[in-house]
Structure 1
Amino acid sequence: MSNPIISLSEMTDFQSKEDEFSPHHWYRRMLKQDPVVYNEASDSWHVFGYDLVKTVLNDHEHFSSERKRTIVNVGYISEDDNNNEGEHHIPDRLDIHNVDPPEHRKRRSLLAKAFTPRSLRLWEPRIQALAEQLIAKFAHQPVVDIVEAYTSVFPVMIMSDLLGVPSKDHHLFKEWVNQLFLPSTHTTFAEINEMKRTAGEEYFKYLYPIVVAKRLNPGEDIISDLIRAEVDGDQFSDEEIVRTTMFILGAGVETTSILLANSFYAMLYDQPGVYAELRNNPELIPNAVEEMLRYRFNISKMDRMVKKDNNLLGIDLKKGDAIVAWMSAANVDERVFEDPFTFNIHRSNNNKQLAFGYGTHFCLGAPLARLEAKIALSTFVQTFSRIENVEGFILEDNLIPAAAGQSLGHLPLKLYT
């Protein structure tokens, strides 16, 4: 049987961490030369063009989410998981990622109410207060590591709060997320899987008593929402809820942390004049967030399995083939975005970016991520008149591996009030 993990390193062959962090040259080449290509080393097809990516993500009759191989190695495989086919720790009744419609719609609806506009309006004051609280801690420092002090802490505190667990323990959640979402290759799989198993067991032991207590006294949080939810007259078990929150926490922390860190990098190094523009025109921030997602969120991709033979992408695909849709490459497709390799917060159509996916599996947490990014940036630019990069910063030395790709481990900057 083929390996359950599709190793992207065998497809990309980047020569440095910086190449992976800023893969625009590679995306440009693939879009022009190989918009659909088979990679023998990973035994998988890869799709880069905008319209082709949308087809893969939206046509669940031909491209299924019920796959045997995946690029996302989340959680761990335990010794009793005999079929050894990827992630086994999201309860079936709450797994919205590895299922197709119509079952997908039923499961998604159980989680969707936590991310409605009404819920976001209720959460907005809490998110705003957390941004102000974190900024106050470093507001008078001349230099700050914005990743360590802000962008890596902000999302985990928000998710801890929204799940309904003590925010004082947010550092524990960050450590667990870092380990549970670690990427692995064929050679490192066993070692990293053991690290993930340890982190998963620690997380379970911590959260299980909290879920039990909330069942007796539910509040206004995601865990309580899951406790109240019913499927065909059945409620979720405490274990199912714990396992589901592990995924929600990870998905809500990892991607938003990277988006925020990359946003500051873009304002320091891609277009240094953007910060002053946002400071003077904060109404531009929502559009700036969309451009960050399009241009600087270079790590967005999803995998599918070919459900039936077809040539919808212009090549013959066979049932069972693994296929990876590179949304971040689609986001720099010049057939959709004019001058795509330029960072431009005034771009009129950057809301067409596919960073959060497309179709039935569009990211459930996208509205929350956008809200967090808007508040994080707005609160920051209102506090500081300008920022500057720190001399001697070497990008290659400050990148660390994450589930989605290389991410910033540190980003020092100068602050001016």
Structure 2
Amino acid sequence: MYSEHSSIVIHEISKLQSPEQLWSPYDWYHDMIVNNPIYYDEKQNVWNVFRYDDVNRVLSDFKLFSSIRKRSVSPIPPVITRVDINSTDPPIQRDIRKLVSSAFTPRSLKEWEPRIRGIAKELIDNMKQMNKPDMISDLAVPFPVTVISDLLGTPRQDLHYIKNWSDILFFPNSEVDVTDQAKRKYRAMSEFNEYLLPIVKEKRQNPEQDIISDLTLAAYEGTQLTDEEVVTFSLGLLAAGNETTTNLLGNMFYTFAYEQKGIYQEILSNRSLISNAIEETLRYRFPITLDRVLTMDSDVLGVPMKKGDVIVIWLGAANNDAEQFPEPNKFDIHRENSNKHLSFGKGPHFCLGAPLARLEAQIALECFIEAFADIVPTETFNPALHLHKGTQNLLTLPVELKIVDKSII
């Protein structure tokens, strides 16, 4: 039975229990959009919204649908600072966000682009030498975590620690043992804090060209951020710049190699389609859920809801709503409104790392195209058998890569 502080287990709501159902939830999305667009789950005492327009409304109206909440689909341990960007609303959230968002402005990203491109080229050059490359372990995982670690200013030799903490903290609740998962999250948070605090203290004394150094110089409410608040910000940036890009790259290359033959060749011949391919991947296969809390009684979604009620927002379903995206189950890099997807959220809580994720995917695909003439399956591959337990995220993606023959260019 749920309590006021209990976590929300997504797959207990959806009943997508098998790996096959997790990987291909489209029939269930369609059924809920048509037959249960506003669905109340009694077991966990949460409302669920699926239609594009409803999801868009909930995400956009922070005054009615608040992010200040006690229950979540992917909770991380609470932080006792002034700057918990994910659990506040404007105007406080807006002020906090200004401090961090400078790292993701077009100007800032332009300055980082050569470093990001260098990381992508290094990883892709290594893949040329591999007999059996894996798009997840050899590119999709190391690329974004290396980028965000470099931008933050943490040592590269510690990447495996950062990746492990990120996985534990930001993966959604498992239906197996939520209590044990909560303990692992607290332990990961503690270890991350212990790791990062000395780095923050050092950079405050000797600033360098990185985000942590910039944050030690920033001010909020008339005072500089404390070391602990810089750590909190850095944790949020780690989330914003890591898992999203890993899943985006894995899902995109899976589609190229295993699901829609010929798309990669089409992009090779018309590189202006790269951005379209990225946006359509974000729309087509990006099963994200978020949550909000009602601030007052309301029937704005068509059914009476009470103040304090929790709303689970199914972005993956909204992105597959046929009213917004005709033939939603078709991956179409020529779709004109792919960029209207809601995978990065909407409104004041729009994903802080969205510009970085898009830039990373753009650079990764550009560098990949320069190196490889084709990406093809290696053997029979069932993605449902290669998912992180209880998630829709690929653990592995074996492919065969055909290297570009520079002699005929």
**TM-score, scaled to structure 2:** 0.94
Alignment match, 1:357: 345
The 5 Å alignment of 1:54-133 reads 54-74=56-76, 87-89=77-79, 91-133=80-122
Gaps of 5+ in 2: 404-409
2:202 pairs with 213, 224, 231, which one?
A: 213
Matched, 1:233 2:219: no
Give yes or no for contact 2:72–2:291 (8 Å, CA) kept in 1.
Answer: yes
Q: Is 1:313 aligned to residue 301 of structure 2? A: yes
Aligned to 2:358: 370
Distance in 1 (alpha carbons) for counterparts of 2:354 and 2:164: 23
SS of 2:401's partner is strand
CA distance in 1, matches of 2:167, 2:198: 23
Given the alignment, which residue of 256, 259, 264 partners 2:253? 264
Q: Which amino acid aligns with 1:37?
A: Y
1:383 to 371, 374, 392: 371
User: How many Å separate the matches in 2 of 1:369 and 1:148?
Assistant: 18
Which residue of 378, 390, 394 maps to 1:408? 394
Deviation at 1:387, TM superposition (A): 1.1
Aligned-partner residue type, residue 246 of structure 1: L
Candidates 192, 196, 201, aligned match of 2:190: 201
> CA deviation digits over 1:72-102, x for unaligned, max 9?
222xxxxxxxxxxxx312x542212111222
* 1:123 counterpart SS class: helix
SS of the aligned residue for 2:273 comes to helix
Contact residue 184 and residue 192 of structure 1 kept, 8 A: yes
- Higher deviation after alignment, 22-31 or 127-136: 22-31
Kindly state the Cα deviation for residue 204 of structure 1 after the two structures are TM-superposed. Answer: 2.3
For 1:186 and 1:21, the matched residues in 2 are separated by: 17
1:176 aligns with 2:165: yes
Structure 1 residue 266: Cα displacement:
1.1
Tell me the secondary structure at the aligned position of residue 242 of structure 2: helix
Question: Among residues 321, 326, 334, which one is paired with 2:322 in the alignment?
Answer: 334
**Paired residue for 2:17?**
15
The DSSP-based 3-state class of the residue aligned with 2:87 is coil
SS in 2 for 1:385: strand
- Tell me the distance in 1 between the aligned counterparts of 2:206 and 2:27: 54
CA contact (8 A) 2:321 2:328 kept: yes
Q: 1:60 to 1:184 in 2, by over 3 A?
A: closer
SS where residue 228 of structure 2 aligns? helix
Query: Separation in 1 of the partners of 2:13 and 2:344?
Result: 22
Measured in 1, the distance between the counterparts of 2:194 and 2:168 equals 16
Deviations 1:190-249 (A, max 9, x none): 322332333333322222211111001112211112111111221111122123312321
**1:204–1:103 CA distance, 2 compared to 1 (3 A):** closer
Q: List gaps (5 residues or longer) in structure 1.
A: 75-86
| Cα distance between partner residues in 1 of 2:358 and 2:378 | 28
Q: Which residue number corresponds to residue 268 of structure 2? A: 279
| Equivalent position SS for 1:56 | helix
Instruction: Report what 2:139 is aligned to.
Output: 150
* Structure 2 residue identity aligned to 1:70: S
In 1, the alpha carbon distance for the partners of 2:337 and 2:168 equals 36
- Matched residue type, 1:56: V
On the 8 A contact 2:240/2:351 being kept in 1, the answer is no
Letter paired with 1:66: I
Are residues 182 and 363 of structure 1, via their aligned partners in 2, closer, same or farther at CA, if it must alter by over 3 Å? Answer: closer
**Partner-residue secondary structure (3-state), 2:241:** helix
CA distance in 2, matches of 1:202, 1:344: 43
- Count how many residue pairs are aligned between Structure 1 and Structure 2: 401
How far does residue 185 in structure 1 lie from its aligned partner after superposition? 4.3
Alpha-carbon distance, 1:107 to partner:
1.1
Q: TM-score, normalised by structure 1?
A: 0.93
Which of 208, 218, 243 does residue 254 from structure 1 map onto?
A: 243
CA distance in 1, matches of 2:273, 2:321: 24
